[in-house]
Structure 1
Amino acid sequence: MKLWGGRFLSKESKLMEDFNSSLSFDKKLYYEDIIGSIAHVKMLAKCNILTNEESKTIVNGLNSIMSDIKEGKLKIEGDYEDIHSFMEINLIKTVGEVGKKLHTARSRNDQVAVDMRLYSKYKALDVIDNLDIILGTIKILGNENAVIMPGYTHMQRAQVVTFKQHIMAYYSMLSRDKKRLTSAIEIMDENPLGCCALAGTTYDTDREFTTKELEFKKPVDNFMDGVSDRDYLLELLSAFSIIMMHFSRLSEELILWSTKEFNFIEISDEFSTGSSIMPQKRNPDAAELIRGKTGRVYGDLMSLLTTMKGIPLAYNKDMQEDKEPFFDAVDTVLKCIKIMNEMLGTLKIKKDNMHNAVKRGFLNATEAADYLVNKGMAFRDAHSVIGNIVITCEKKNKAIEELNLDELKSFSDLFEEDVYEFIDYENTISRGIKKEM
C-alpha cells in the first residue's frame, strides 16, 4: 500500500520500489515518529480538527504500536516505503478507518524533519553525557599521575611537563567539544511540525502547542527552511568530526607511548590484541581502530555536505541521504567515546620510564636561557650561548646540569651556583604549573 498512489495509473517498478525504500535505515526513527504523531494528533483535537474521541483512539493506537515494537511483537520490516508509511498502515490495521485521519494537516516533509530533529537532539545529548564520563576519567588519570615526562614539539623532546598536564590538554579539547554540541543543540532546537510540504496548511493549527509537547524551544520561522535544510545535522557532524580528530590524536600518542621505543604506558589486555604468527605481540588495536574510524566520520560529514550543496528549495528526495551518514557517525562516535573511556580507565602509566626519559634531551635548555636573561643577557644572546653548551654536552655525553660551574662559566661569567636550582626539572615544572593555573 502506497500513501501517495491516487494520481498514478501504473504500478511503481519493483526496482524503483527497492531503490526508493528507506525503511531499512529510517526504522531507527520509530520512537520519534510516534511521539511526533501523538503531539500532532493532540493538537488536531485541541484545534477541533479531530474530535477528542478520534484523537484518543489514534493516540492509544500509536502507544500500542510503540509497546509492540519495544516488546518485539511487531517487527519493523516488510514492503513499506519508509518508517512513516509503516506507522500509518499499521495504525490503520490497529484502530481502523480513523487511523487515516492521522495525516491531516501534515506532510511527510515536516514529519521526517521533526523526526530527525528529535533524534539528532537526543543523540547529541547522549554524546554529551558520555563526554562527561570520559572527562571525569581523564581528570582522575591526570590527578593520579602527576609524574614528570618529556614534552614534545615536532616529535622532538622540547621541555619537561607532567603527564597530568599532557592528558589534561585533552580534557580541555573535549570540554570545548561538549560546548560545541551544546551550542549546536541550542541552534537546532526549533520545531518544523506544521510546515507541511513547504507552505504550511489551510487548517487552523497550533504550532506552539506541538512545540511545547515535543519540548522544542520555538517553531521554525520559515516553512520552506524548516523542511528543506539539514544544516543542524551538518553542524553536529562537524562537531563529531572534531571529537574524533581529538580522539585520533590521543590514540596516536597512546600507540606511540605503548611501543618499546617509548615504553611510557601499557594498554590493558582488555583493549589489546595479539598476532596470529608472533606470540610476543601486544597490539594497541582499540586505539588504532579509533584512529581509523576518524576518517569514517569525516566521510559522513563530507557525504552530507556534498548531498546538500546543489539542492534548490524546498524538499527534494536527495535529502533521504541525510540519515545513513548521520546514523553511522553518531553510532561511531558513541562507541569510540566508550572504548576510549574504558581504555584510559585501565591504562598503566610507567612513571619511572617517563621520569628517566627527561634526563636526556636537554629539556631544561629553555630555562637555562631564561636564567641568563634574568641575569641581564639579551634573550637572543642567551639562546646562542645555550646552543653552544648543548653542542658541548652532546660531545661529552652529558646533560646541562651535569656540567660543573667552571665549565658553564667558560660560556658566560653570568652563571652562578644558583643555576642548578633554577634549571632543576622539578623546579621548572613548579614554576610552569603556577603560571598555568
Structure 2
Amino acid sequence: MDLDDQHEFARDGALPAKAKTLWHGRFTGGPSESLLAYTVSLPYDQRMWRDDIVGSKAHVRGLARVGLLSNDERDDVLRALDQVGAEMETGSFDFAETDEDIHTAIERRVTEIAPAGGKLHTARSRNDQVATDLRLWCKRELRDVALRLVEMQEALLEQAIEAGDTYLPGYTHLQRAQPVLLSHHLMAHGWALGRDVSRLLDTIDRLDVSPLGAGALAGSSLPIDPIGNAADLGFAKAFDNSLDAVSDRDFVAEAVFDLALIGIHLSRIGEEWVLWTSGEFGFVRLDDGYATGSSMLPQKKNPDIAELARGKSGRLIGNLTGLLATLKGLPMAYNRDLQEDKEPLFDSVEQVTLAVAALTGMIATATFNVDVMQAAADEETMAATDLAEYLVRNGMPFREAHAVVGAHVQSCLAGEGSLAELVMADPRLGAEGAALVAPGVGVKMRTSRGAAGPAARAEQIDSYRSMVQSELAAIRELASFD
C-alpha cells in the first residue's frame, strides 16, 4: 500500500477496495481493521514458509499430471514459487496488508510473478493446505528435537564413562538411601530421554499422512491425484477420509504432549542440578560458560539453565492443556479455532530445543566433586540395607532382619556407638557385617541386572549405546525422505 492507502485504511477501519482477499468475490467491501488484527496469524505461521512452498510445488506438479495445468503453466508457477522461496530466504519478501497468513502471502506473490499463478489454488483449500504444511513442519522439527535429545544422551554417556567408579548417595524422598555409581545416575536420565525419542518417532510415524487433496472438507470434483501428491511430498500414505484429514489435530496434541513430557524430564534434571551445585550439596561445579552471576552478590555462581529448565516445564504443560481445551468442543471439519494449534506447538518446540541445547552443554562441561559425593555416600547408615540382606542370606526372614538393623541404626543415632561397632558386637553380624559398613563397599554390593554397582555397569553401557545407535538409525531414515 502507498501512504494514502494506509491513511484510508486507518480512517475507515477497512481495506481500500483494490486490496483483495482470497474471498473478495463474495463480499462487497474489504475486511475491517479489527477483523484483520484479530484473525491474523502471519506473525507466527510464517515459519512454515518452506513447507508451504514445498506443498505448493507438489500440488502444482499434481495438477499438471492430471491435465489441469499445461507443462508451460506448471513450469511458470514452479519458477514463481522458487523466486518466492529465494525472497523469503534473503528477507526481501514484501508482505502486504491482506496477507493474513503465510499461505495467503505466498499465493499472492506467486500470482504477481506468474501469469498462471491464479491456477495455483485449483482443487485446493487453505484447510488441506495448512494441514499439509503443518504435518511437513512437524516431521522435520520433531525429528530435529529427537536428534538433539540423542546428543544429550551422548553427553550423559560421556560423563558416565568418565566418572568410572565414582559414587554418590542415591535418594528417595530426598533422603540418603543407598550408594549408587554416578554413571548409573547419569544414564538413568539418558534412558528416560530414550523413551522421549521413541515417542517422538512414533508421533512422526502416525502423522506421516498427506491431507493434500481433501479440499475444504469434501474433496474435489476435479481429477486430482492425492496418492501421487503424498508420494511426491514423502508422506507414507494419503488420507482416507477428507473430513478427518482437514480436522485432525491429534498429531499436534500428541507432539505437544511429547514435548511437555520431555520438559518434565528436563525439569527433573534441572532440579537435581540446582541441588547438586548448591553449597549444601557441593557435588558439581558448573563451567563459567553455563552459569550466571549476581548483579549484587559478587560470590554467586547461579545454575540459571537448570532453574529455567525446571520453570519452563510449567509453560509446556500449559501449552498442552490449552490446546486440548481448544480441541475438545469442535465439530467435524475445519473450524477457525484450529488456528490456535500452532502457537503452542511452535512455542513448545522452540523452548524444548533451547533447553536441550543449554542443558547438554551444562552437563558436558561440568566438573564433579568426587570426594564430596563419595563422602556423603559413605555415611554408615547407608549400609543398612546391605546388613539386612546379609542376615537374609544367613536364613533370617527379611522383616526380622529389617528390625534388627533398624534397632542398631537407632542406637547409633542415640550416641551408643558407631554403626560398625554395634554391628561388630552383634553375633548375628560380627566382623563380616561390620565390613559392609566400610567406605566404598556398599556400592559394590549392587550386583543384580540393571543395578547401581560396577558389576552391572558394562552391560548397561552396551545396552545404552545400542539404544542410541538405533535411535540415530531411525532418525537418519526419516531424514532420507526429505
Partner of 1:417: 431
Contact 1:360 1:399 in 2 (8 A): no
CA contact (8 A) 2:21 2:98 kept: no
**1:397–1:171 Cα change, 3 Å:** farther
The aligned counterpart of 1:254 is 273
CA contact (8 A) 2:408 2:422 kept: no
Q: Does 1:286 align with 2:298?
A: no
In structure 2, do the counterparts of structure 1 residues 8 and 304 end up closer, same or farther at CA, with 3 Å as the change threshold? same
What is the CA distance between 1:290 and its match in structure 2? 1.2
The amino acid that maps onto 2:144 is D
Q: How far 1:72 sits from its partner (Å)?
A: 2.3
Counting matched residue pairs gives 431
Q: Establish whether residue 16 from structure 1 lines up as the match of residue 35 from structure 2.
A: yes
Q: For 1:271-310, what aligned pairs fall within 5 Å after superposition? A: 271-310=290-329
Q: Cα deviation per residue 1:399-430 (whole Å; 9 max; x = unaligned)? A: 5335462x2x2xxx322422234455544423
Please say if residues 134 and 337 of structure 1, whose CA atoms lie closer than 8 Å, have aligned partners that are also in contact: yes
3-state SS of paired residue (1:27): helix
Which region of structure 1 is more displaced relative to structure 2, 288-297 or 266-275? 266-275
Are 1:106 and 2:124 matched, yes or no?
Answer: yes
Structure 1's 102 and 397: CA in aligned 2 closer, same or farther, altered over 3 A? farther
- Aligned residue identity for 1:414: R
Counterpart of 2:408 in structure 1 is 389
Determine if contact 1:272/1:283 at 8 Å carries over to the other structure.
yes
Q: Does 1:430 align with 2:444?
A: yes
The reply on whether 1:218 has 2:237 as its aligned counterpart is: yes
> Helix, strand or coil: the match of 1:144?
helix
The structure 1 residue matched to 2:385, chosen from 357, 360, 366, is 366
| Range with greater deviation from structure 2 (192-201 or 137-146) | 137-146
Conserved? CA contact 1:150–1:158, under 8 Å: yes
Letter in 2 for 1:429: V
Residue identity matched to 2:391: L
Cα distance in 2 for residues equivalent to 1:75 and 1:434 = 65
Query: CA distance change for structure 1 residues 316 and 255 in 2, over 3 Å: closer, same or farther?
Result: same
The answer (yes or no) to whether the contact 2:212–2:229 under 8 Å persists in 1 is yes
- Once residues 373 and 349 of structure 1 are traced to their aligned partners in structure 2, the CA distance between those partners, rounded to angstroms, is 36
Q: Distance in 2 between matches of 1:37 and 1:301?
A: 30
Query: 1:365·1:400 contact (CA, 8 Å) conserved in 2?
Result: no
Normalising to structure 1: TM-score of the pair?
0.95
**Kept in 2: contact 1:265–1:349 (CA 8 A):** yes
**2:25 corresponds to 1:6:** yes
Q: 1:398 to 1:29 in 2, by over 3 A?
A: farther
Q: CA deviation at 1:273?
A: 1.5
Distance 1:278 1:402, change over 3 A: farther
The 10-residue stretch of structure 1 (197-206 or 388-397) with the greater mean CA deviation from structure 2: 388-397
Change (3 A) 1:127 1:119: same
The separation in 2 between residues aligned to 1:222 and 1:398, in whole angstroms, is: 76
State the distance in 1 between where 2:449 and 2:124 align: 59
Q: Distance in 2 between matches of 1:342 and 1:186?
A: 30
CA distance in 1, matches of 2:449, 2:442: 11
- Quick one: structure 1 residues 335 and 76, their matched pair in 2 at CA, closer, same or farther if it must change by over 3 Å? farther
8 Å Cα contact 1:149-1:357 kept in structure 2: yes
Q: Is the 8 A contact 1:24 1:77 kept in 2?
A: no
Alignment partner for residue 229 of structure 1, among 248, 268, 292? 248
> 1:13-56: per-residue Cα shift (whole Å, max 9, x none)?
11111111111111111000000000000011011111111111
- In structure 2, the residue corresponding to 1:396 is in which secondary structure? coil
Matched, 1:208 2:232: no
Residue identity in the other structure for 1:73: S
Q: In angstroms, what is the RMSD of aligned CA positions?
A: 1.5
Measured against aligned partners, the alpha-carbon deviations of 1:85-119 in whole angstroms (never above 9, x if no partner) come to 101110011113x1000000100000000000000
Aligned position for 1:183: 202
% identity of equivalent residues = 38
The answer for unaligned runs of 5 or more in structure 1 is none
Deviation at 1:360, TM superposition (A): 2.1
What secondary structure sits across from 2:318 in the alignment?
helix
- The structure 1 residue matched to 2:162, chosen from 130, 144, 153, is 144
For structure 2, the 5+ residue unaligned runs are 1-19, 451-455, 457-482
Determine helix, strand or coil for the equivalent of 1:160: strand
Answer yes or no: is 1:376 the counterpart of 2:414.
Answer: no
- In the alignment, does 2:142 pair up with 1:124? yes
Which residue pairs with 1:80 in the alignment?
99
Which residue of structure 1 lines up, in the alignment, with residue 289 of structure 2?
270
Deviation, structure 1 residue 327: 0.7
Question: Counterparts of 1:321-340 in structure 2 under 5 Å?
Answer: 321-340=340-359
* Cα deviation 1:204-229 (Å, max 9, x = unaligned): 11111111111000012211111012
Contact 2:214 2:220 in 1 (8 A): yes
SS of the counterpart of 2:431? coil
Q: Distance in 1 between matches of 2:50 and 2:279?
A: 50
Residue type at the aligned position of 2:120:
L
Indicate conservation of the 8 Å contact 2:378/2:438, yes or no. Answer: no
Partner Cα separation in structure 1 for residue 202 and residue 328 of structure 2: 23
User: 1:34, 1:66 within 8 Å by CA — same for their partners in 2?
Assistant: yes
Structure 1 pair 211–382 and aligned structure 2 pair: CA distance change class (3 A) = same
